[in-house]
Chains A and B, each alone.
Chain A
Amino acid sequence: MTAQPQTLQRPARTDKGADLRPKRRITGPGVMRAYTWLIILWLILPIFVMILFGFNDTSGRYNQSWEGFTLKWYGRLFDIDDLTRGLITSLVVAVVSSLAAGALGTGIGYALGRYRFRGSGSVNLIMFATISSPELVMGASLLTFFVSLGVGLGVVTLTIAHIMFSISFVATVVRARVMTLDRSIEEAAADLGATAWTTFWKITFPIILPAVFSGVLLAFALSIDDFVVSNFTAGNAVTFPLWIWGATRVGIPPQVNVMGTLIFVAGVVIAVAFNIRSRRAQRD
């Protein structure tokens, strides 16, 4: 009997609470959540199409309409020599340019983050200019530069160009990390008898290494995906995107979809692994 008033009260209260809460959920965040997912789906749709058509059982050069499922293109991945070579060129250029840009950019980023020096403003300015210049213009100016010098275009000029546009990105990432670096850690090393050289390699570098690494990864991604600058500076070298661009005139073979899929999967795996590693490191 005594419980009765309680049971009468309770529904009334929860009703009131339910009235307030879900209403806000549905109108605001609920709609935005659906919206966000919609946009994400939109972003992923072309990737899905690309992956799907890597399994398309098309018979000829043209891979346009769905003709059934097959795995044969995975088996014949390296059938098109030039495509394979393009991919290899892309990988080699990306590795070399990301490492070189990693080294050069780390120097700049470290100096900017660590020291105050005359001319740092100009360095910042030129970095800002390279990051914000249209790729098209960078590629075009490099082309005119090489042509004026009478330098033949090829893998070397391509690599030079990729290093050029990657440096500033690496430097920016490294600078951000160095700026948040506790200076006293370096002093502690010096205090404990380490020379400047030892301090850098034993202490500073390992600490900024994740930043350097993500800078190098960024440079690698920029390089392997680059089309615009490469189009101007590759000369008769062919990279993966350049080959695809050239092949559009006669149709993209399914191998391109397969390679695109594999690059995508590899990229995602590396990124996820890197992310999990650094997150675990943070949590520990």
Chain B
Amino acid sequence: MSASNIPDPSLVRGLSQRRLGRRDALRMSGLSALGMALAACGVQGKGTKAPASAAPDAVQQYWSDKKQNNLVRFANWPLYMDPKQPELKAFKAKTGINFTYKEVIQEMGSWFAKVQPQLSAGQDIGYDLMVITNSFQFSQFRDSGFLAPLDHAKLPNFAKFAGDAYKKEAFDPGNQYSIPWASGITGIAYDRTKTGRDITKLADLWDPKFKGKVGMMSDVQELGNFGLMAVGANPDKSSASDWEKAAKKLQDQKDAGIVRKYYDQGYIDALGSGEVWLTQAWSGDIYQKNLSEHRDLKFVIPEEGGTIWTDNMTIPITAKNPVDAITLMDFFYEVPNAASLAEYINYVCPVPNAQAEMRKEAAKLSGEDKTDLLALASSPLVFPAQAAYANLHYYVAFESVAEQQQFQKTFDPIVLG
């Protein structure tokens, strides 16, 4: 933490964006107690001074010759918007901009692998807007120069309505390349009827009583984070030796036969079907599962802490319609739109005012619809209380590709064993 007060030499030399990210991460973690509510963080300016694509005139250069073309092509994850696409329809009605919406992103790694060839060849990937997670692929996208720098003059709603926490994400300081779509918390989900007791801490994931009934995530970052927190390390401040310890801890868990499987998002099905009794989980999933199947699955942020991540809207550098894209990005930050979106996707909403909006809307409804919406508006998983953030950690921030590869190599054998 104190490191943030000492000027980083590489920063002075105006070196890599990644270092800036790391430095920022440190600062962020220091402020985590307040959920980053404090705006007193002068990183933004420095960030925009960062080299390469982040050169001060980069934004100007990129946007100077761009015009609105009345079309935006949106690439998103499956089931990340109401299939009826009410928000997009509203957007079209308001702006006259046509849209295509495709749920083509299923995994960060595979998405990167898929579009990397086209992007590096400078070809249009067929999308003007894509939602990507703040995993290390985010840095890969950014460091490869695949993301267009955002012109914040075109994002007034974001400036106005975005929760403060979302304005200074560690992985993209100053939102140079991205603004959040939705955010989520990684914690533990469990089926109270199976476990027979409340789950409160990470240690429960290591409880031999649940042998073969514990789900962990196959994403090495998520898995590694939990391993790190279990050995008492803070993921975003962790070192290679912490990683080793965490990997050992996770390997023990696996060898003891406690882990049923390393899941992608399939853990939801597994939890629902009784395949696992408790599992690493993302907050919104559990909400949706309970709502749609009238289940009472629990989600908890473990005592030792959970992690928070963000899925972000970005514009690929080769986009044909960036102006339309950035207009749409800003549109999602209008409070009613943000509320409408959150109603469907049930993840943490980056627009705090949406909570009030939802309650307002609920007042107009009656019966089950009203209760549901009110429940949603009060859900700590969609609008986490400030206190909840106290326990939340960020992803491990890597200083270099080599470091990231080392991290991956440390945890890969556990998942792929």
The interface of chain A, by Cβ under 8 A from chain B, is: 58-62, 64-65, 79-82, 85, 143, 146-147, 150-154, 234-238, 243, 245-251
- The residues of B that contact A246 with a CB separation of less than 8 Å are 78, 103, 106-107
| CB within 8 Å for A81 and B269 given contacts A58-B292, A152-B118, A152-B121 | no
Q: Flag if B272 contacts A238 (CB, 8 Å).
A: no
Identity of the chain B residue whose Cβ is nearest the Cβ of A250 in the assembled complex = B79
Q: Flag if A235 contacts B269 (CB, 8 Å).
A: no
Report B113-150 residues with CB < 8 Å from chain A CB.
Answer: 113-118, 120-121, 123, 125-127
Q: How far is the CA of A57 from the CA of B102 in the complex (A)?
A: 26
Identity of the chain A residue whose Cβ is nearest the Cβ of B121 in the assembled complex = A150
Q: Flag if A247 contacts B75 (CB, 8 Å).
A: no
11 A-B residue pairs with CB within 8 Å: A60-B288, A82-B103, A147-B117, A151-B121, A154-B118, A236-B75, A236-B111, A238-B102, A247-B78, A248-B265, A249-B78
- The residues of A that contact B126 with a CB separation of less than 8 Å are 154, 236
| CB within 8 Å for A247 and B118 given contacts A60-B288, A62-B272, A62-B289 | no
Most buried by B among A82, A150, A247, A249: A249
Q: How far is the CA of A112 from the CA of B101 in the complex (A)?
A: 47
Identity of the chain A residue whose Cβ is nearest the Cβ of B284 in the assembled complex = A250
Whole-angstrom distance between the Cβ of B353 and the nearest chain A Cβ: 27
Q: Flag if B291 contacts A60 (CB, 8 Å).
A: yes
Q: How far is the CA of A235 from the CA of B75 in the complex (A)?
A: 13
The interface of chain B, by Cβ under 8 A from chain A, is: 75, 78-79, 83-85, 101-104, 106-107, 111, 113-118, 120-121, 123, 125-127, 264-266, 268-269, 272-273, 285, 288-289, 291-294
- The residues of A that contact B83 with a CB separation of less than 8 Å are 79-81
Q: Flag if B266 contacts A238 (CB, 8 Å).
A: no
- The residues of A that contact B79 with a CB separation of less than 8 Å are 61, 247, 250-251
Identity of the chain B residue whose Cβ is nearest the Cβ of A233 in the assembled complex = B114
Besides A62-B269, A79-B83, A250-B78, 6 more A-B contacts (Cβ < 8 Å) are A65-B272, A153-B114, A235-B114, A243-B103, A249-B78, A249-B266
Q: Flag if B264 contacts A249 (CB, 8 Å).
A: yes
Q: How far is the CA of A239 from the CA of B257 in the complex (A)?
A: 36
Q: Flag if B102 contacts A58 (CB, 8 Å).
A: no
Whole-angstrom distance between the Cβ of B122 and the nearest chain A Cβ: 9
- Give 8 nearest A-B pairs by CB, closest first: A60-B292, A249-B265, A152-B118, A246-B106, A82-B103, A150-B121, A235-B114, A250-B79
